[in-house]
Chains A and B, each alone.
Chain A
């Protein structure tokens, strides 16, 4: 029996879809069978980030309206030896095309076939959000150190706490080390304390995330990248391992390292 985890934030543009793709990929790399469900009906992106856009034949609305079977709509990502799958959202419908009960049934069906079902939640707290959390067992909350994202995260936690979902876990995304060190934004401790939830991971802002998403490759595939490492750590924590947080300190290069290049 699999576990359904919703990935949500409230505010848009903080990295829900990117995180869903990367955490899903990282779990698949750890040998788990993962199905990603895009719930952003009408504004689907998860397929794009994974580079699977051109392979969509049926979508979630087709399944709900019984024009297609579930297995027909699910796309297999060939890069991961039968470990990563995607159920795409519809583009020509809106959030009300699916209701909460249909979502519960759908995810219930997926749970028997997959270890993890990651639900990519749309921004906002309307029907799309309600559908996304209806079927979830756990929740991952994405925020950035920006005050507006934190405020929305607080609201979302309040809504999630009213459901049966096990306490949401926090990911702080797009951390700019220099700003956090100089105290221009709230630091990791302050954000975690303010929201009073468990911290699942922190991800530093990195141009490569956007670069590789644009090529349809989740950044997590590149093992040298710091964001990639962060997503891999998050996946390991989801699997129950204890992994220390990455250091926020900007590593200071010694004069010799500066002179001869950074060769570590």
Chain B
């Protein structure tokens, strides 16, 4: 019988690789055997040893939550072993789709009229106007090519790192996470815009003092370096 379980020593502890072939019962049997073996050998270890981190890798297999608990319990029968995480090379489609939604940019071409709400769980690019009384809302960032005269609410579930990019040329309202900023027609933010012949795009963001601030788009990379870096954000999400 081919070995279904592989124990590997790494720098900061152990890794247990569970092969993704064979049944769960067989696997658990073998795991129990392995643990019992180690347990016997480790009798000699004294309690002076500090905790050993164990990472369980399940290959291309996904376990139910109850099965994961069982695996964890089996391994932690050895008092020194502490299961750091149970990871897999694959994820569920549902979760993948959720991730994809959260990290991908949604394109919306529309006029958001009074009383309408456009909502997205990830970043959204709107090409079109937001009329007074209309609202665009996203858990992530909002980019608007068009006139913002209604409400733009970025990071609405509390992500205060979110930004709103638009030409803030009209009376409107910008919200980031739980912070609300009312834009007046001749406010400071767009004063210089009005003096120049064309409106320039700006990014509204929450600065270090937790105050809503405006930055010309060429400075956006400075205040939000992670923006637009998909792989990095995927990692953060994972």
Pair from one complex: yes
Kindly specify which of B30-38, B80-88, B112-120 makes contact with the partner chain: B112-120
In the complex the two chains form, is A154's CB within 8 Å of B132's CB? yes
In the complex the two chains form, is A196's CB within 8 Å of B129's CB? yes
B173, CB-defined interface residue at 8 Å: no
In the complex the two chains form, is B111's CB within 8 Å of A196's CB? yes
CB nearest neighbor in B for A161: B113
In the complex the two chains form, is A158's CB within 8 Å of B129's CB? no
- What distance in Å separates the Cβ of A8 from its nearest Cβ neighbour in chain B? 14
Chain A CB count within 10 A is highest, among B114, B115, B132, B133, for B114
Contacts of B129 in A (CB 8 A): 194, 196
Contacts of B114 in A (CB 8 A): 151-152, 154-155, 158
CA distance A228 to B119 in the complex (A): 45
Contacts of A170 in B (CB 8 A): none
Chain B CB count within 10 A is highest, among A154, A194, A196, for A154
A219, CB-defined interface residue at 8 Å: no
- What distance in Å separates the Cβ of B108 from its nearest Cβ neighbour in chain A? 14
Docked complex: A131-166 residues within 8 A CB-CB of B:
151-152, 154-155, 157-159, 161
CB nearest neighbor in A for B116: A158
CA distance A152 to B131 in the complex (A): 11
Docked complex: A195-212 residues within 8 A CB-CB of B:
195-196
CA distance A162 to B114 in the complex (A): 13
Contacts of A154 in B (CB 8 A): 113-114, 131-134
Interface string of B202-226 (1 = CB under 8 A from A): 0000000000000000000000000
CB nearest neighbor in B for A197: B111
Number of interface residues of B (CB under 8 A): 10
CB nearest neighbor in A for B147: A194
Interface string of B113-144 (1 = CB under 8 A from A): 11110000000000001011110000000000
Q: How large is the interface on A (under 10, 10 to 19, 20 to 34, 35 or more residues)?
A: 10 to 19
In the complex the two chains form, is B115's CB within 8 Å of A155's CB? yes
- What distance in Å separates the Cβ of A245 from its nearest Cβ neighbour in chain B? 23
Contacts of A196 in B (CB 8 A): 111, 129
- What distance in Å separates the Cβ of A126 from its nearest Cβ neighbour in chain B? 14
Contacts of A194 in B (CB 8 A): 129, 131
Docked complex: B62-105 residues within 8 A CB-CB of A:
none
CB nearest neighbor in A for B128: A196
CA distance A159 to B116 in the complex (A): 9
CB nearest neighbor in B for A147: B132
Which residue of A151, A157, A159, A161 is within 8 Å of B132 (Cβ)?
Answer: A151
CA distance A232 to B157 in the complex (A): 54
CA distance A158 to B133 in the complex (A): 11
CB nearest neighbor in A for B150: A154
In the complex the two chains form, is A155's CB within 8 Å of B111's CB? no
Contacts of B134 in A (CB 8 A): 154, 158
Contacts of A158 in B (CB 8 A): 113-116, 134
- What distance in Å separates the Cβ of B72 from its nearest Cβ neighbour in chain A? 50
CA distance A194 to B132 in the complex (A): 10
CA distance A161 to B131 in the complex (A): 15
- What distance in Å separates the Cβ of B13 from its nearest Cβ neighbour in chain A? 57
CB nearest neighbor in B for A162: B116
In the complex the two chains form, is A151's CB within 8 Å of B133's CB? yes
CA distance A194 to B129 in the complex (A): 8
CA distance A152 to B132 in the complex (A): 10
CA distance A43 to B232 in the complex (A): 63
- What distance in Å separates the Cβ of B90 from its nearest Cβ neighbour in chain A? 40
- Can you add 19 more A-B contacts, CB < 8 Å, to A151-B133, A154-B113, A194-B131? A151-B114, A151-B132, A152-B114, A154-B131, A154-B133, A155-B113, A155-B114, A155-B115, A155-B133, A157-B113, A158-B113, A158-B114, A158-B115, A158-B116, A158-B134, A194-B129, A195-B131, A196-B111, A196-B129
By Cβ-Cβ distance, the 4 closest A-B pairs, closest first, are: A158-B113, A155-B114, A154-B114, A154-B113
Interface residues of A (CB under 8 A from B): 151-152, 154-155, 157-159, 161, 194-196
Selected A-B contacts with CB under 8 Å, 24 pairs = A151-B114, A151-B132, A151-B133, A152-B114, A154-B113, A154-B131, A154-B132, A154-B133, A154-B134, A155-B113, A155-B114, A155-B133, A157-B113, A158-B113, A158-B114, A158-B115, A158-B116, A158-B134, A159-B115, A161-B113, A194-B131, A195-B131, A196-B111, A196-B129
